Amino acid sequence: MTPAWLSEVLAPRFPGVRIDRAEPVDVIHGACTKIRLAVAGDHPDLPPTMMMKVGFEAHSPAMRKMHANEYHAYHDLMPTTGLNVPDCLAAVIDDEGKALVILEDLCLRDVRFLSLQQPIGFERAKAFLSGLAKLHAPWWNAPELATRFAWVPDTSEESMAHYFGLLLTPDQFQSYATAPRGAAMPRFLLDPPRIRAAHRAMRAAHETQARVINHGDMHLGNLYVDADGTPGFLDSQPRLGAWSIDVSYFLIAGLDLVDRRRWEAALLDHYLGCLKDHGVAPPSFDDAWAAYRRDVVWGLLIWMLNGSHFQTEANNTAAATRFAMAMVDLDSFGALGV
């Protein structure tokens, strides 16, 4: 990744640019490698720093589809939404499916990044749900979803093979069950066959629901707020499926469990109202509530088995516990008939 290479990939955005210097000044390791680059070149609009997201981790070969999904999110999906997302300066994918994106450095415009360990309040949750409705509405049950977005994975067991591999391998599952997140959960939830059955029942229920392009990973660590309070969306992993997986995932991961119990019905109703404002005929509240209850299992599966090299164990425990308590409060197994 030389200055000459960077000049080439940035040229569509900065025509004629010549990068003279590009140096990493910060590296963040996780599901992908995030590199803050200090750059110098001859284009007047070139920012002094930018963020590159690429796969330089030991686990990156296994995450290639995830990196490609994010490439497509910035290249093909986000330009259709009007959401507040980082400005994508370049998106590159090769013939082997290895992908990277280069984004604006949000720190240059004084945004506030949210955190799983700092749950949000009612008004902020409303603002993000308004944005989520804006994402969902344009493609609500659109007949061209499957063809225009053929690259988007679905919610099937096959597309979640990493998690189901952990769930259904006893030794591996036990390592998560005995980790802090597992120790914080009610024992009846640590039941792989029941979780698998619940996922299958959720998928069957989705056959009667509207399909959308979901953000796919809308937890607080992937969200930010501009200085004027505008909600911002990061690190989308688009999923083709029922609208309710995004809504349940966001509300349960993002709210303190006491607040979630008090606010979830009103916030769900707000989301439905936003859909109507965008010209969508939303489901009834009762049908939406039933879907919300069922889809808690989606987030439980992810956060129960999320690697500590992707998120800290503190983050994994915070989120997994919120989903575990929502499974209890909302009787999600009962709603799924398992």
Q: Which amino acid is at 305?
A: L
194 and 307 belong to one structural domain: yes
Q: How many domains does the chain have?
A: 2
pLDDT value of residue 110: 87
pLDDT in tens, 105-141: 999 988 999 999 999 999 999 999 999 999 999 999 9
- Please work out, in degrees rounded to the nearest 5, the angle formed at the alpha carbon of residue 272 by the alpha carbons of 209 and 247: 65
Contacts of 295 (CB under 8 A, 6+ apart): 202, 242, 244, 245, 247, 248, 249
Residue 48 to residue 22: CA distance in whole angstroms: 10
pLDDT band at 309; cut points 50, 70, 90 = confident
pLDDT at residue number 194: 98
The continuous run of DSSP H or E covering 223 comes out as strand 223-225
Model confidence at 31, pLDDT cuts 50, 70, 90, reads: confident
Decide if pLDDT at 286 tops 90.
yes
SS3 content of the chain, % helix, strand, coil (to 5): 50, 15, 35
Please report, for residues 57, 139, 175, the alpha-carbon distance to residue 172 in angstroms, rounded to integers and kept in the order given.
Answer: 21, 38, 5
Tokens of 324: 């575990």
Are 77 and 142 in a shared domain? no
Q: Of residues 61 and 314, which shows the higher confidence score?
A: 314
C-alpha to C-alpha distance for 183 and 281, rounded to whole angstroms: 42
Mean pLDDT of the chain: 94
Q: What is the pLDDT of residues 65-106, one digit of tens each?
A: 888 888 999 999 999 888 999 999 999 998 888 899 999 999
Q: Is the pLDDT of residue 62 over 80?
A: no
Whole-angstrom distance, CA of residue 307 vs CA of residue 42: 42
Task: Calculate what percentage of the chain has a pLDDT beyond 70.
Answer: 100
Confirm if 91 and 50 have CB atoms less than 8 A apart. Answer: no
Q: Which residue has the higher pLDDT, 215 or 56?
A: 215
124 and 105 inside one domain: no
Tell me the two tokens of residue 113: 């990044």
Question: Among 92, 109, 126, which residue terminates a domain?
Answer: 109
Are 193 and 331 members of one domain?
Answer: yes
Q: Both 37 and 17 in a single domain?
A: yes
* CATH number where 252 lies: 3.90.1200.10
Question: What is residue 328's predicted lDDT score, i.e. its pLDDT?
Answer: 98
The enclosing domain of 31 has a CATH number of 3.30.200
Quote the domain boundaries for residue 196: 112-336
Task: Kindly state whether residues 169 and 117 are assigned to the same domain.
Answer: yes
pLDDT, tens digit (0-9, with 9 covering 90-100), for 158-203: 999 999 999 999 999 999 999 999 999 999 999 999 999 999 999 9
